């Protein structure tokens, strides 16, 4: 049983015992999802001091979120950015290794990361060293505690984005673009995404008006609800303009997590017009989905439940993930 407290601390991905690790990881990295179209630049106190539009011809020294002075190599060729692969791929950078846990990867990037070897989410030093990176980018401060930063920095210059940047995919992409001399690519990717979202919003509004929708994740016989600031929630409510349902708006601001635990009994109060269900429990969860309580939820009774693959984009965030989520929404709701 996963408690509310568990969902608010850091962690990683699914499959058997690894499912718990996935829940925890998405709770931490889900903060990498907040949409902030109006303020897509990175924080002035921690971002690189100058943006370049091409790969730098010489090393540059910048300050990361933890106050480290980091010398970024000129045109780094072997970049390691665990759980930042969406941003790297968007910038046209193939990382030397890709994030994984319990034999699971970010499947929605499988085409872009084909043949890229995996590395465990917790960045074992021996594994990091074996990939011989020339530059390492880390998402959050909590990922490099207990001396790990110093160990990584001995392998290659290591830059920590920090939670304030990492929680917003636009800021994260912008900052990584600055670090790698790919600011122009980052800016264009954000522009392309925002244009796609705006066009999709128009189509969606024409099809369903201001109807509400909820995103639920079923895993290990437990339901989790995404709020309006995270992953596919930010796509639905911020980028596409759908109305958050009652159970989303009722989550206290200081208690919001990437994925918020919600009991089946509480779900009976859900007023959403539509439910997007990410089902990681094809076997174990079948009993729940056949229960009288589940079948009594208005959206379920109306046949407005859309089951999504647990290997898709809905649990993640970034230009690639969010774009794929938009495609799914249009396919399901715009006839």
pLDDT tens for the chain, 335 residues: list them.
333 333 332 333 333 445 555 655 555 554 444 444 333 333 333 444 333 445 567 999 999 999 999 999 999 999 999 999 999 999 999 999 999 988 689 999 999 999 999 999 999 999 999 999 999 999 999 999 999 999 999 999 999 999 999 989 999 999 999 999 999 999 999 999 999 999 999 999 999 999 999 999 999 899 999 988 889 999 999 999 999 999 999 998 888 887 999 999 999 999 999 999 999 988 777 789 999 999 999 999 999 999 999 889 999 999 999 999 999 999 999 98
Specify whether 47 is located in the same domain as 184. Answer: yes
CB neighbours of 90 closer than 8 A, spacing ≥ 6?
A: 173, 185, 186, 189, 318, 319, 320
Tell me, what's the pLDDT at 263? Answer: 95
Specify whether 29 is located in the same domain as 88. Answer: no
Domain boundary among 161, 189, 217: 189
Specify whether 144 is located in the same domain as 261. Answer: no
Tally of CB atoms within 10 A around 107: 15
Specify whether 19 is located in the same domain as 46. Answer: no
Tell me, what's the pLDDT at 307? Answer: 96
Specify whether 73 is located in the same domain as 153. Answer: yes
Domain boundary among 189, 204, 221: 189
Closest by alpha carbon to 219, among 263, 264, 281, 307?
A: 281
Give the C-alpha separation, 183 to 202, whole Å: 29
C-alpha 88, offset from chain centre? 13
Specify whether 73 is located in the same domain as 175. Answer: yes
Give the C-alpha separation, 1 to 17, whole Å: 13
Specify whether 176 is located in the same domain as 224. Answer: no
* 3-state SS string for the chain: CCCHHHHCCCCCCCCCCHHHHHHHHHHHHHHHHCCCHHHCCCCCCCCCCCCCCCCCCCCEEEECCCCCEEEECCCCCCEECCCCHHHHHHCCCCCCCEEEECCECCHHHCCCCCCCCEEECCCCHHHHHHCCCCEEEECCHHHHCCCHHHHHHHHCCEEECCHHHHCCHHHHHHHHHHHCCCHHHHHHHHHHHHHHHHHHHHHHHHHHCCCEEEEEEEECCEEEECCCCCHHHHHHHHHCCCECCHHHHCCCHHHCCCCEEECHHHHCCCCCCEEEEEECCCCCCHHHHCCHHHHCCHHHHCCCEEEEECCCCCCCCCHHHHHHHHHHHHHHHCC
252, exposed or middle or buried, with CB in 10 Å at 0-12, 13-18, 19+?
exposed
Place of tokens 């995270």: 230
Under 8 Å between Cβ of 272 and 228: no
> Partners of 305 in the beta sheet?
275
CATH number at residue 185: 3.40.50.1980
Specify whether 49 is located in the same domain as 25. Answer: no
> Partners of 119 in the beta sheet?
99
Tell me, what's the pLDDT at 257? Answer: 80
Tell me, what's the pLDDT at 20? Answer: 53
Specify whether 217 is located in the same domain as 323. Answer: yes
The number of domains in the chain is 2
Per the structure block, which two tokens stand in for 332?
């399901």
Segments forming the whole domain that contains residue 144: 40-189
Specify whether 210 is located in the same domain as 108. Answer: no
Specify whether 47 is located in the same domain as 164. Answer: yes
Tell me, what's the pLDDT at 308? Answer: 95
Domain boundary among 158, 189, 220: 189
CB neighbours of 46 closer than 8 A, spacing ≥ 6?
A: 63, 64, 65, 161, 162, 164, 165, 175
Per the structure block, which two tokens stand in for 22?
């996935």
Per the structure block, which two tokens stand in for 321?
């993930």
Specify whether 28 is located in the same domain as 46. Answer: no
């Amino acid at each position: 049983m996963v408690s509310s407290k568990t969902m608010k601390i850091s962690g990683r991905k699914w499959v058997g015992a690894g499912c718990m690790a996935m829940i925890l990881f998405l709770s931490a990295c889900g903060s990498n999802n907040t949409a902030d179209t109006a303020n897509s630049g990175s924080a002035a106190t921690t971002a690189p001091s100058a943006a370049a539009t091409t790969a730098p011809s010489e090393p540059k020294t910048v300050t990361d979120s933890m106050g480290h002075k980091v010398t970024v190599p000129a045109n780094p060729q072997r970049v390691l950015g665990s759980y930042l692969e969406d941003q790297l791929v968007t910038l046209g950078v193939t990382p030397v290794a890709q994030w994984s846990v319990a034999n699971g990867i970010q499947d929605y990037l499988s085409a872009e990361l084909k043949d890229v070897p995996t590395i465990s989410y917790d960045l074992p030093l021996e594994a990091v060293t074996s990939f011989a990176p020339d530059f390492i980018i880390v998402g959050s401060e909590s990922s490099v505690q207990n001396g790990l930063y110093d160990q990584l920095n001995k392998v290659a210059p290591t830059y920590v984005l920090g939670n304030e940047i990492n929680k917003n995919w636009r800021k994260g992409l912008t900052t990584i673009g600055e670090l790698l001399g790919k600011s122009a690519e980052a800016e264009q990717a954000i522009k392309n995404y925002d244009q796609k979202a705006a066009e999709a919003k128009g189509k969606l509004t024409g099809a369903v008006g201001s109807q509400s929708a909820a995103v639920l994740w079923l895993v290990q016989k437990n339901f989790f609800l995404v709020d309006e600031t995270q992953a596919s929630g930010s796509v639905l409510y911020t980028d596409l303009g759908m109305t958050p349902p009652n159970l989303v708006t009722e989550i206290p601001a200081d208690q919001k997590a990437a994925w918020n635990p919600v009991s089946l009994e509480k779900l009976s109060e859900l007023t959403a017009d539509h439910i997007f269900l990410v089902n990681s429990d094809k076997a174990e969860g079948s009993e729940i989905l056949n229960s009288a309580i589940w079948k009594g939820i208005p959206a379920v009774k109306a046949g407005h439940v859309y089951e999504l693959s647990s290997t898709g984009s809905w649990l993640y965030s970034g230009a690639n993930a969010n774009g794929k989520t938009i495609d799914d929404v249009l396919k399901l709701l715009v006839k």
